[in-house]
Structure 1
Amino acid sequence: MSDFDQDDVAAMRRENGGKDFRLFMRQQIAEGKARRDKPATTKQPKPPGHRPGAWPAGSRPPDPLKPQPPGAWEHALHRYRQNEGSDRDPCHCGGCDTTSNDTEEN
């Protein structure tokens, strides 16, 4: 905003029949609105083939774990606690990573 005083406003009103003053005031209003109004945000478009609530194309929910005999979870937990901190596979439940070396100790 520019610095102006009463003499400047009086001079603007005298020049061009007050046209300069009206233009100046419109400019001031426009600058104030520009500071107040925020630009409209646009939503990101959905990817092609998007279905709300569906699994993405080419994927599916994970398979359920294979059934376990009674006591298998307790045995796996016991083995896990024995092997904690090692790089061996502590569990054979089907949900754990089985890519590591599989050695059983009883």
Structure 2
Amino acid sequence: MTDLDPEDTAAMRRENGGRDFRLFLRQQIADGRARRTAPAAVKPPPPPGRIPGAWPAGATPPAPRPRRHTDADWLHALDRNRLGHGHDTDLCHCGSCPTTTKETP
């Protein structure tokens, strides 16, 4: 804040017909308003080359994992399990199945 003496005010009113004093006061008002109101926040632009929620440009989703066993293999293992012949050790990789030769039903 600028400290003004009564002599400074009187001198500013005398110079240029009081024009300097009016300009000084207007500038004081503008400075006070600028301190009172915060500038509006500007939203940053989105990153280039990326659409939110989409795959990046030039990329593709991962391919499905290849299947190790066919549907017929799984059906055969299910049939063996239903008939009570135990796990099919060729298809089961649980680690607890015995590693014996394949039984035939």
Give your verdict on TM over 0.5.
no
Larger-Rg structure: 2
TM-score, normalisation: structure 1: 0.43
TM-score for both structures, normalised by structure 2: 0.44
